[in-house]
Amino acid sequence: MIIVLDASGAVEAALDREKGKQILDLLKVADITISPDIFISEATNVFWKYRKFSQFNDEICLKGIEFCINLIDDFVDSNNLWRESYFEGIKNQSSTYDMFYLVTARRNGAMLVTMDKKLNSIAKQYGIPIIEN
């Protein structure tokens, strides 16, 4: 099984939230976990927000970012995804950031692991396997 993990799913696991254990269990049985390379900037930005708006210190944030990055076995070059992601964003009235993950999952016959309800809904319409939120 191939899994495409987005930043929201990775952060859920990193912070040991409600679905975090389920996500980590899925990753353990996956043949490979992939993500578009925008994942790194998105995960970094999430922890920057935690640093700015919560009591998280630098050490916690840096460990969280590294944890998220280390969940991914291979990064897909977004230069190969942007055009299709752009048109999917228009078609689905959704963020092109999210569409990078959708396109990656569709192209690889992968399960999409995200905490984003709208992205899950779109993926479901395309027949892409998801975890239920």
Q: How many domains does the chain have?
A: 1
- Look at residue 133 and tell me if it is in a domain: no
- Look at residue 122 and tell me if it is in a domain: yes
Domain containing 111 — which CATH number?
3.40.50.1010
- Whole-number Å distance between alpha carbons of 67 and 17: 14
Give the contacts of 60 (CB within 8 A, at least 6 positions apart): 50
- Look at residue 113 and tell me if it is in a domain: yes
pLDDT digits (tens, 9 = 90+) for 93-125: 999 999 999 999 999 999 999 999 999 999 999
Residue ranges making up the domain that contains 49: 2-126
- Whole-number Å distance between alpha carbons of 8 and 20: 10
- Look at residue 50 and tell me if it is in a domain: yes
pLDDT digits (tens, 9 = 90+) for 2-57: 999 999 999 999 999 989 999 999 999 999 999 999 999 999 999 999 999 999 99
**What order do you get walking across the sheet with 74-76 strand by strand?**
74-76, 32-36, 2-5, 111-113
- Whole-number Å distance between alpha carbons of 41 and 39: 6
DSSP helix/strand/coil, 75: strand
